């Protein structure tokens, strides 16, 4: 995880992956 976050591009990609997780959570709850 630290290796991923040491890369700025990795940080941004991880952020976008979390958006997909977030959308899935929103739709899973409703």
Nearest CA-CA partner of 18 in 6, 30, 1: 1
Instruction: Sketch the per residue contact string, 1 through 30, with other proteins: x for CB under 8 A, - otherwise.
Output: -x--xx-x--xx-xxx-xx-xx--xx--xx
- Exposure of 5 in the CB half-sphere (CA atoms within 13 A): 2
Least separation in angstroms between CB 24 and other proteins = 11
Q: How many residues make contact with other proteins (CB under 8 A)?
A: 17
Q: How crowded is the C-beta side of 14, counted as CA atoms within 13 Å?
A: 11
Binding site for other proteins (CB under 8 A): 2, 5-6, 8, 11-12, 14-16, 18-19, 21-22, 25-26, 29-30
């Amino acid at each position: 995880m630290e290796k991923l976050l040491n890369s700025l591009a990795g940080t941004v990609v991880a952020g976008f992956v979390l958006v997909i997780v977030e959308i899935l959570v929103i739709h899973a709850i409703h």
